[in-house]
Structure 1
């Protein structure tokens, strides 16, 4: 394992024969930096965590995958945003470069979160430009560099990479996203490939169909399509496939206490079996013959 308690991330290498699967959990960190200086009670702030997602997918290295885990919380700095997705209203001075705040920033959930929800602000002041720059330098960039290296290692070794960006979602996701009059309940799993642009359909189909055989409800790109990480990594025409996986929190934990519920072990075991299914699929896709075929197709 690379990284430790004082590192911004942990990187778990494959424990057995490696496969071209890289998994990352950018939002499950629970180590709150001393300079966070939030005014929201910690218990309430934890509502922004993808708590226990790292544990749900902990079997990834045992099937040959690389697993990257953030140690810090997303409310401190959100790894699944671009580095310029900053609300100027958050800052007490001028940013030295052009900013590009997204709709997420408007809602208060940009690179640096301003809010937990529409009514709850995180800070009682604006942040200094230097504060935000330090978070980018010390937390955001090291994590992204580690993920980029893991992706590149897979490309060099196997001629391709399949990436899973791992998350969980609150039960009131539609409300938080200000989506009104939704005609159906939130699915147990939401698979996002930015409307078919970041991942081969066969990989998406494999995961969706297997989860359905286990009795889970599954949706595609509703309400989460995927953000910065899969947009950056997923280039199917280059044999780079990236898929975001969201798990509805109440199926594995108590959202109020953040504690695992009675179904946690079942969900964890199901995900382990899913990882084994993925490993079988990728072992075939990454064989020398298929690598050569892919290389010829792209020359």
Structure 2
């Protein structure tokens, strides 16, 4: 149950979920890839039996405690495969590797997703219905928090498997998205909870969200990636869609993350 929290959905298709506590901390969390939902339009255009791999599985459940810490959470209600809100809109016509595309035409295992190229009207509709509402909501929440706090700290939350063997990877775009003081506080909070931590690993250096919003005055941003083996299950992950998790591991990691975020909030509110 979400206490003292407003849940909002924007757009006709409920593209974005906002959990906003009545008492705001200066910390905002963004979860752009936590949903695996796709639209009927997308489903009808896809090649049969294609696997939509490497979502940020179970991430909304993993961070369902954020409201307890008065952290505002903005999350996308549709899959990154519909449109990736963590990409620059200028990439909307790129159909190459998924790392370069606003709308993926290939999976993260380089398998074709669609029978044919998507018409421009489909691309534009997805941007209007899913991409733009996410960024409108995120910017609004940042501006709301800036009215209450001198500085706002944006945490962009993700998960991964292959790019590193660390439990957690912090992405700062080479130190350009936040101060050393904030980075050190986050790094120490994870290390103190026993997580192994790396910084700016290849492919996990920070995406569009942290690079874009950290350019706003008095906003610092960091991408936080947690490895599948740290919270889902300690095993090999291949080309698959994930439906099951090790509940004991999951709950233990959630408790540790709650302590991490609590310490971060305590430090930045000083």
Report the TM range for the smaller structure's normalisation.
0.7 to 0.9
Note the C-alpha offset of 1:109.
4.8
- 1:99: which partner in 2? none
**1:189-228 maps to which residues of 2 (within 5 A)?**
189-223=168-202, 224-228=204-208
**Structure 1 stretches of 5 or more lacking a match?**
91-104, 174-184, 285-299
RMSD, aligned α-carbons: 2.0
- 1:181: which partner in 2? none
Note the C-alpha offset of 1:222.
0.5
Q: Do residues 10 (structure 1) and 17 (structure 2) align?
A: yes
- 1:275: which partner in 2? 261
User: Structure 2-normalised TM-score?
Assistant: 0.87
Contact 1:114–1:121, Cα closer than 8 Å, also in 2: yes
**1:40-51 maps to which residues of 2 (within 5 A)?**
41=49, 44-45=51-52, 47-51=53-57
Note the C-alpha offset of 1:61.
1.5
- 1:230: which partner in 2? 210
Contact 1:193–1:199, Cα closer than 8 Å, also in 2: yes
Q: Do residues 86 (structure 1) and 92 (structure 2) align?
A: yes
Contact 1:161–1:240, Cα closer than 8 Å, also in 2: yes
**Structure 2 stretches of 5 or more lacking a match?**
1-6
Q: Do residues 39 (structure 1) and 47 (structure 2) align?
A: yes
Cα-to-partner distance string for 1:41-83 (whole Å, 9 max, x where unaligned): 36x21x2310111111121121111001111000110000011
Q: Do residues 263 (structure 1) and 255 (structure 2) align?
A: no
Q: Do residues 111 (structure 1) and 87 (structure 2) align?
A: no
Q: Do residues 154 (structure 1) and 145 (structure 2) align?
A: yes
Cα-to-partner distance string for 1:106-138 (whole Å, 9 max, x where unaligned): 456510111113541111111000000000000
Q: 1:235 to 1:107 in 2, by over 3 A?
A: closer
SS in 2 for 1:3: strand
SS in 2 for 1:219: strand
Q: Rg larger in 1 or in 2?
A: 1
User: Structure 1-normalised TM-score?
Assistant: 0.79
Return structure 1 stretches of 4+ with deviation > 2 angstroms: 105-109, 254-258
SS in 2 for 1:19: coil
**1:30-179 maps to which residues of 2 (within 5 A)?**
30-36=36-42, 37-39=45-47, 41=49, 44-45=51-52, 47-88=53-94, 90=95, 105-107=96-98, 109-169=100-160, 171-173=161-163
Distance 2:156 2:48 in 1: 28
Note the C-alpha offset of 1:168.
0.4
- 1:95: which partner in 2? none
Contact 1:59–1:275, Cα closer than 8 Å, also in 2: no
